[in-house]
Amino acid sequence: MLSAAREAHSIVEGIPVDCFLGDGLRRRALERTIEILGEAARRVTPGFRAAHAEIDWRGLAGQRNILAHEYGRINHRLLHEAASERLPALIDILERMIGVEPKS
């Protein structure tokens, strides 16, 4: 999860939303990386998820399902927002959780 979250954030970091929306390769890369993040979240045991309610497990898995199965519902503007604004907090949580040093 941490690797995918870092990668997803790096795909949009410093990229204005309009540039992102015009870059099909970057959009697809973000879709796939968030899909991988959601799949990893789905595989976490129920007990671990319950012990770490600060993570939106359901939201991560739900986003994965939309990306994997409901292509017409993908809102790339919202994906950019999630990756650029919400993933840094998830990355911080995951780094603390597993005891790794933050990457600069």
Q: Where are the domains of the chain?
A: 2-98
Maximum Cα–Cα distance across the chain: 41
What is residue 72's DSSP assignment?
A: G
Task: Band the pLDDT of 104: cuts 50, 70, 90.
Answer: low
| Alpha-carbon Rg for the chain in angstroms | 14
Q: How far is 28 from 3, CA to CA, in rounded Å?
A: 17
Those residues whose C-beta lies under 8 Å from the C-beta of residue 92, and which sit 6 or more positions away, are 102
Q: Which of 33, 28, 12 is nearest to 74 (CA)?
A: 28
Taking only the tens place, the pLDDT of each residue in 39-71 is: 999 999 999 999 999 999 999 988 888 888 887
pLDDT band at 103 (very low <50, low <70, confident <90, very high): low
